[in-house]
Amino acid sequence: MLVPVLLLVLGIVFLIIAGDWMVRGAAALARHWGVPALIVGLTIVAFGTSAPELVVGVQAVLQGAGELAAGNVIGSNIANVLLALGLPALIMAIPTNMTGVARNTFVCLFATFLFIALAFINNPLAMWQGAILFAGIVIYLLWMFRLSKAGIHDPILDEMTEIEEGEDGLPTNVWVSFVYVIVGIVGLVIGGKLIVDNAVFIAAEMGISETIIGLTIVAIGTSLPEIATVVVASYRGHSEVAIGNVLGSNVFNLFAVMGATALTGPVPIEPQLLAFDVWVMLASSAALLVFVLRRQPIGKFTGIIFVIGYILYMLALVSRVM
């Protein structure tokens, strides 16, 4: 059992590193070819940062383990709010009163409601439901584009367009950029296969569903980039990036990742997910909305509550399989 667990963790490491390489290489190539930063942010960076969840979802469906895909997205969204906001709040209060935060919080809640509604209407998720969800991300990105052209500030858009050539490890040579892209794509495929294969094996050996593995190990692993980003940013005194990072990730997980996954093949959602986990996801987003509407920062006490909430959620999952 130790070897499959280590291989699954190795797959997560592959996904995180490979996804980062692919984004940097593709963004650098786009810059070399004169593509505006806004377009780069709304395409390459936007979809590239959701690459870990997307690769796991698509490969899981192709390998007949669609339950893993739904568990991964739902678990990742819960971890993004309770951990990726709770942990940095322990270091420094996270402001919620920036322009555009309320707008994106409502989008996140709408995406959550839409996903839940579609799941109750028809389960497993079919291609037509995937098309609806994926249309959501296309409309959202077009909206972001119009907001930017109108000069309206948006924290998610700012984050996606902040990568500059030669900064943050972005390659400056065209051929090096190609290598980044190729290595990134290969690494994503290898990482995704390692995760899906070993997650299915572990679930079978433990007598539990792939959903539980997706909600726990895989979800936390694919959320690590967001968690690490906001914790480091808070440590450096830039806690304001946390909200944009979390909201952007959750919107893309529900619209782009679940949409593309359902377009690939049927995505079964276990009854227990619909009875409990989707409501935890909705409640965490609703709790965030309360702070945003009140323009109240997420402080240390709330951070403690969020982290404890996540621990309790993990304990509830453990009790489910015992």
| Interval 253-288: pLDDT, tens | 999 999 999 999 999 999 999 999 999 999 999 998
Please give the residue that has the higher pLDDT: either 3 or 284: 284
Q: Quote the CA–CA distance of 97 and 153 in Å, as a whole number.
A: 13
Q: Quote the CA–CA distance of 293 and 311 in Å, as a whole number.
A: 26
State the CATH number of the domain containing residue 308. 1.20.1420.30
Average pLDDT over residues 209-220: 82
DSSP symbol at 255: I
pLDDT at 166 over 90: no
Enclosing domain of residue 133: 2-321
What mean pLDDT value characterizes the chain? 82
How many structural domains comprise the chain?
Answer: 1
Confidence of residue 160 (pLDDT cuts 50, 70, 90): low
pLDDT at 62: 87
Please give the residue that has the higher pLDDT: either 27 or 35: 27
Q: Which of 129-133, 180-184, 214-218, 243-247 has the highest mean pLDDT?
A: 129-133
Burial class (CB in 10 A: 0-12, 13-18, 19+), 166: exposed
Average pLDDT over residues 138-148: 84
pLDDT tens string 95-108: 888 777 888 899 99
Helix (H, G, I), strand (E, B) or coil at 203: helix
Please give the residue that has the higher pLDDT: either 280 or 215: 280
- What are 87's two structure tokens? 């942990």
Q: Quote the CA–CA distance of 35 and 13 in Å, as a whole number.
A: 30
